[in-house]
Amino acid sequence: MTADLAMMPAWQLVKLYKSRKASPVEATKAAIARIEAFNPKLNAFQHLDPDSALRAARASEKRWKKGGKRLSDIDGVPITIKDMVLTRGMPTRMGSLATDPDGPWNVDAPSAAHLRAAGTVLLGKTTSPEYGWKGVTDSGLFGVTHNPWKIGRTPGGSSGGGVAAEAVGMGTLAVGTDGAGSVRIPCSFTGLFGLKPTQARVPLWPPSAMGTLSHVGPMSRTVLDAAMMMNVMARPDPRDPYGRPDDIENYEKGLDKGVKGLRIAYSPNLGFVEKERIDRDVATAVEAAVKVFKTLGAKVVEESPDLMGLDPRKILNAHWQSNVAHLVKTFSEEKRALMDPGLLKAAEVGANLGQETVVTAIHQRQQVAAIMNQFMARYDLLLTPTMPMTAFAVNENAAWGGDGVDIGWTPFTLTFNLTRQPAATIPCGLDREGMPIGLQIVSGHARDALVLRAAKAYERVRPIPAPPLAHQV
């Protein structure tokens, strides 16, 4: 029974809690058992605290007992949080040897605070490359994180630890962050569902060096689980000055309404990604997934936005390279010597961009956003591949042998960090080598619930499979 509890979705777990067929302590123990079994191979955690997790689980258990008062619909569910999100009582190292190992660790970021107040059980902090700088997950601090679908492949990044844990039941829910694709890249590479909500829908603090490119989002094995997480995380916090007005959205409500009659644009290349860059298995799987939406009654049209020659890759590169240049400068020379050489190189490129280049990029970002907004005014949803490729070997900084300074290898995801639109990824098949492929589902601002609803409709006919490793207990 305990092994099943670990892979069980949150919505099912809490049903068992309610009927007292399982308890948060059992679920937490099941997750810890899986951590012991799999983490040595996957290296998904930067920090683990089974004792505090069990304490939290026991407290939750009391609340689920007769007469107890649950703190939320996911009270007692084991979760993991990425090393980029501040957590009280657990170190946050940002995947970096240059950060202070001694803390203090005395404050929760908004999402961590909301999840704590909801009674969830925090198992530990998942690995990230240094300051989430690249779309794969390795760091001087904690080494290489592997993909549960194939050891030796990257889980993607930067929320790579979170997905490696999530895919094999080392936690029921995972929190990631996404500045150019860092929730969607790893979810695509490891066959999970992941949502980058509308910017600031999930509040963020302290302010990220990436400014309004930064997002916090759920990563899960089912769409309903992500909706349940959003119900907890997508609540205001005065510390985020970009925080959106509280919309009191219930993300579970209407989740099963399907996609019949919805206007969907399908764009195989978003109008700017070179077709030869897109893996043929990816293109085929995404095409097939789009057909599923047609079968489900959506009105699908193949159309790409006209970006008027603007290249989102260049715009995003200028934003993030200049920001990491600033980030790196905040460290002393000795500390800098400890940092990832790839990150330092990106910082050097950023430092030499020139101010006018960055100002131009900021204005171009607005233009792209205005174009996408007008495009989305005609459609409820937009479908694209999440990634042009599937998971590649570990110890690379980027796909296609790149050094990671150019983040352009994830063009589909980064576009929606620029525009701040909600965008999710859902698994839509495996490539010739058995590695997962992701379909990206995008909507207009504040329509996060619609993205979840579309993903749920797809999931109902194409359930999300677990990696073979998850069954080897």
Shortest Cβ distance from residue 197 to another protein (Å)?
Answer: 13
Shortest Cβ distance from residue 358 to another protein (Å)?
Answer: 6
DSSP symbol at 226:
H
- Which CB sits closer to another protein, 311 or 431? 311
- Which CB sits closer to another protein, 168 or 442? 442
Measured in degrees and rounded to the nearest 5, phi and psi for residue 56 equal -65, -40
- Which CB sits closer to another protein, 269 or 367? 367
Query: Site residues (CB under 8 A) for another protein?
Result: 205-207, 209, 211, 238-245, 247, 322-323, 325-326, 329, 350-351, 353-356, 358-360, 362-363, 366-367, 369-370, 372-374, 376-377, 419-420, 444-446
CA distance 213 to 199: 8
DSSP symbol at 276:
G
**Distance from the Cα of residue 315 to its chain's centroid:** 21
Closest CA to 198 of 452, 443, 456, 457: 443
CA distance 152 to 141: 19
CA distance 410 to 211: 19
Helix (H, G, I), strand (E, B) or coil at 429: strand
Tokens of 36: 């012991």
Shortest Cβ distance from residue 103 to another protein (Å)?
Answer: 21
Q: What is the DSSP string of 10-50?
A: HHHHHHHHHTTSS-HHHHHHHHHHHHHHHHHHH--EEEE-H
Residues in the chain: 473
Closest CA to 232 of 194, 175, 191: 175
Taking the alpha carbons of 333, 44, 132, 399 in that order, is the dihedral positive or negative? Answer: positive
Q: Which residues, 6+ apart, have CB-to-CB distance to 21 below 8 Å? A: none
CA distance 210 to 229: 24
Closest CA to 5 of 30, 24, 34, 36: 30
Q: What is the DSSP string of 168-217?
A: TTSSSEEEEEESSSTTHHHHHHHT-EEEEPSTTSS---SPPTTGGG-EEE
- Which CB sits closer to another protein, 207 or 463? 207
- Which CB sits closer to another protein, 142 or 416? 416
- Which CB sits closer to another protein, 250 or 374? 374
Closest CA to 85 of 147, 187, 176: 176
Our answer to whether residue 304 is catalytic in this structure is no
- Which CB sits closer to another protein, 180 or 213? 213
60, 96, 111, 158: the catalytic one is 158
Shortest Cβ distance from residue 365 to another protein (Å)?
Answer: 9
Our answer to whether residue 182 is catalytic in this structure is yes
Token pair 């004792």 in the structure block, residue: 51
Helix orientation angle between 280-295 and 448-461, rounded to the nearest 10 degrees = 90
29, 82, 150, 196: the catalytic one is 82
- Which CB sits closer to another protein, 22 or 325? 325
Shortest Cβ distance from residue 84 to another protein (Å)?
Answer: 16
- Which CB sits closer to another protein, 202 or 470? 202
60, 111, 182, 214: the catalytic one is 182
Our answer to whether residue 60 is catalytic in this structure is no
CA atoms within 13 A of residue 401's CA, in its CB half-sphere: 0
Helix orientation angle between 223-233 and 10-18, rounded to the nearest 10 degrees = 80
Q: Would you please indicate which residues are annotated as catalytic (active-site) residues?
A: 82, 158, 182
